[in-house]
């Protein structure tokens, strides 16, 4: 259990660090990061997370379920559906968290507050996914370690622009650079917390592992479809294809890492 917690903490510590590095862009840039670079990074993260959901989460979930005597499809489909429904419900509740902000005259402040809440919310399943992957690797399935590391890398790459997406608008709204950085970095702190709590639950209930893996996979796929791909501007920007190329490269790289090294 201790090793699983240490590994999960290390993996999500990296993703948290990437969020902080992204937030630190407020010290270097006055305005936004290059839109094309932003699309490429989000597309790359989307491709990595799609492949990770399949090879690092769903396939191990099916294998774990079969080892426990369950139909492989049951936790894979059921857990994924629960992960998707969880984020659908959270997204539905999100606009109601701060109605007074939406009704206030400071529309920029309201938008920034909702952006912080949205990014922090979506960091929770990412932390769960990384935590479960490292927990399985630490519990005797070390063949999953390359996949878990690649998953952490993909989440970390995604977190970099997210940290900047919080700190830069806060700076533009008049907040100090230091405070903007701290708030942007803090949005990633939920990932180590979610990872450690998930590892504790998985360590005490072995039969829940296939469901937890699938839950994380479903949640990650929802984030990719709902947030990353639209943000990468894949549908509307037909002049530049950076986001599309990023998805392809990220997917292929993650697949190669998982299959060849795993």
Q: Where are the domains of the chain?
A: 2-25+38-261
Task: Indicate the pLDDT class of residue 74, thresholds 50, 70 and 90.
Answer: very high
Task: Spell out the residues 6+ positions from residue 65 whose beta carbon is closer than 8 angstroms to its own.
Answer: 71, 72, 74, 75, 76, 210
Q: What is the pLDDT of residue 203?
A: 60
What is the maximum span of the chain, computed from C-alpha positions, in angstroms? Answer: 58
pLDDT digits (tens, 9 = 90+) for 148-176: 777 788 778 778 877 877 787 777 777 88
Query: Which pTM does this prediction carry?
Result: 0.63
pLDDT above 70 for 105: no
CA atoms within 13 A on the CB side of 239: 2
Task: Spell out the residues 6+ positions from residue 237 whose beta carbon is closer than 8 angstroms to its own.
Answer: 39, 243
Could you give the CA distance from residue 132 to residue 138 in angstroms, rounded to a whole number? 10
CA atoms within 13 A on the CB side of 42: 26
pLDDT digits (tens, 9 = 90+) for 201-214: 766 556 777 887 78
Angle at 200 between CA 197 and CA 203, to 5 degrees: 150
């Amino acid at each position: 259990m201790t090793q699983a917690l240490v590994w999960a903490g290390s993996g999500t510590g990296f993703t948290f660090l990437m969020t902080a590095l992204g937030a630190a862009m407020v010290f270097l840039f006055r305005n936004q990061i290059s839109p094309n670079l932003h699309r490429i990074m989000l597309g790359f993260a989307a491709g990595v997370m799609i492949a990770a959901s399949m090879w690092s989460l769903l396939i191990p979930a099916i294998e774990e379920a079969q080892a426990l005597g369950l139909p492989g499809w049951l936790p894979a489909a059921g857990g994924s559906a629960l992960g998707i429904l969880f984020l659908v419900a959270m997204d539905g509740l999100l606009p109601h968290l701060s109605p007074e902000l939406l009704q206030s005259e400071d529309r920029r402040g309201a938008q920034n507050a909702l952006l912080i809440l949205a990014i922090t919310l979506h960091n929770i399943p990412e932390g769960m996914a990384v935590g479960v992957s490292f927990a399985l690797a630490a519990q005797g399935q070390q063949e999953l370690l390359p996949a878990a590391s690649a998953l952490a890398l993909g989440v970390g790459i995604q977190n970099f622009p997210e940290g900047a997406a919080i700190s830069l608008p806060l700076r533009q709204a008049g907040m100090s650079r230091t405070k903007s950085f701290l708030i942007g970095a803090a949005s990633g702190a939920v990932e180590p917390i979610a990872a450690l709590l998930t590892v504790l639950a998985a360590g005490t209930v072995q039969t829940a592992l296939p469901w937890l893996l699938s839950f994380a996979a479903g949640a990650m796929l929802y984030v990719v479809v709902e947030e990353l791909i639209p943000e990468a501007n894949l549908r509307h920007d037909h002049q530049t294809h950076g986001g599309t190329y990023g998805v392809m490269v990220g997917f292929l790289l993650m697949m190669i890492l998982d299959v060849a090294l795993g």
